[in-house]
A and B are shown apart, each in its own frame.
Chain A
Amino acid sequence: MTTTLSTSRAASTPPAVPTRVRQSIRERVAPYAYVAPFFLIFAVFGLVPLLFTFYVALFDWNPIGERVFIGLDNFTRLLDDARFWNAAWNTISIWLLSTVPQLLLALGLAHLLNQARLRLAVFFRMSMLVPYITSVAATAIVFAQMFDRDYGLLNWMLGLVGVEPIDFKQSVWGSHLLIAAMVTWRWFGYTTLLYLASLQAIPRSLYEAAAVDGAGGWKQFRHISIPSLRPVIVFTIVTSTIGGLQIFTEPLLISRVSAVTCGPVRQCQTLTLFLYEQGFGQFQFGYGAAIGVALFLLIIVMATINYVLSTRTRSERS
């Protein structure tokens, strides 16, 4: 989720340094040598493992014992496994609960920050990046404490207005909300900065002209800001799908005792946690790899749906 994109300012400029004309072999291979490290690293630690996951998923594969080809058995077993469906549901639920508020919050804040003559602008921007530099592990521990049933700040405040203590960690919705709160906290400021950058590229004169025509703040936001933000909104939706569906650390660290299941009844076990439990806890590499494949498919499907939806609304509106 840390990626950003820019417009292809430099995309079409012709290359400046011809390396082919009457030059030594050394000069000719130089460009390939420069791009090679990335491709090498990505191949060995990214692509090959991902493809190999599909292969391992076809075996009963134990790190020490023998490996037996079992075809699609891992997958049929997966589809019958209530733990898998539970984890899939948890993953989607947590992802939705964290992505939607995060993007809306970022949209609103970016709009506020985009006003000309805003005082303390640098202070506001820097503060919003503090959660991003805070590690997930530290975030999980402090949030788990703040949301604690007996000693948590939040339940104390709720108690002041007469609400019974909520057991966030032990209940399904409670734990999902807790994890979503952590994810939202960590990412909304970063997303705000991405949106703000796009907003600042819109000429102020556009807003001024709209104001002259009698368009108020909300109308300006809807008809000028939102349309220009579309590319970055689509981008953040797709990246938060890819990142959000792989949530691992937050659920692992909120409960000390039953970490890999995220609670006695697996109320917040995500697919990545389930993968870890099967692969590295039970040493069932084949079954764990099958979970990886399922998660991969889920991410592809969700990212495609999101992409199509967010680009379709664009063509309908404009």
Chain B
Amino acid sequence: MTVATDDLEALLDRASSGVAFDGLRIDETDDGYSLEAGENRWPGLDEAALGRALESSDEYVTNWRYWQETVGGEGTARRAFLRWCERAPLADAEDAADAEATVDAPLAVPERYDALRDGIDREWGQLSITARFVDIDDPDGERVYDLWHVDDADSDLADLEVYDEPRDAREIATHDDDGRYRPLKTAPTLPAGWAFTGLSGDDLVDAIGFFYPATIANWHRERRGALDVDHWLETAERQTGIYDVIDELPREAVEWMAEACCVDSQCLRRREWEYEDGDELDADGGDGPFPCREPCSLVIAAARKWAILESEEERTYELELTTSERNQLEELIDAVAEGRVDEIREADVNDGANRYRARYLRAKRFGEEGLEATPVDE
């Protein structure tokens, strides 16, 4: 491990006004300097002795340098996120979720330095992040970050498409594996097969911003207890133009909508918005690491459709179906809702959503006008 001379100089410069960071503490007292590095304490040092003591505390010194000089940005979401990446204690740890505090307890500098040699892994939605030293054999405290899909955790780097420009994340995130456009960035359909390696902290934060926009900012706010949630009604009432109608969506329908759109199988954000303050929805908000603070534009657009559809009167129809055909309707809707249609095998006629079964039902029950059903309440 090496401590650069300029690190020592920078620290000595600052010693008189006091340094306190990540277990490193330097104070100027009446009988010289006192130094604290983790468990070790050196009182009453003159400048030369302080320099020598710092050299023997190289991990604390290079750690200080990385965070205070390279990363900087005291109080920013960027800094908090990078600290989270290597399980460093966070300034706002008191507010952090208890589960994390016990399972993923923050590491002090020596343990963190050990771990950074092997790389510290974190998951952020479908992203896997590794924080590690640039130079593993002779670390100087500089960290870099690797980023890939969680599904590629065991893949060989040689089998992945390797990128180093954060903006490339935009391209990767545009389509799913079937080539379909992903308008919702937090849909759990991010394709695998790529890797970013050796990113700087800033580049990592940029790349994540392209994969999952605003998730770091809102996560940070939530940790500080400053997440500003806009519930359904206030968001709906704010809308104008063609979206003006969505506040007419019945409460019950908002419940169905949250169940349709916001559960983990559809979106990795954890829905924090409710019907209104003090009126919670029953639908599960999900377990994603990043909070959703208000209905997204996709949900707003869909809500408009449902507001229009829900304004229709219900009617009673009479139609002829065998029991199996009735069940088949259930299977068809279920297959579409679960996105299972493409998985149904051509010849699997036991599956009600099999294409031949659906075509047969259509041939048998659909007339010129489609489904032969008679309204009985006219």
A and B associate in one complex: no
Interface residue ranges, A against B (CB under 8 Å): none
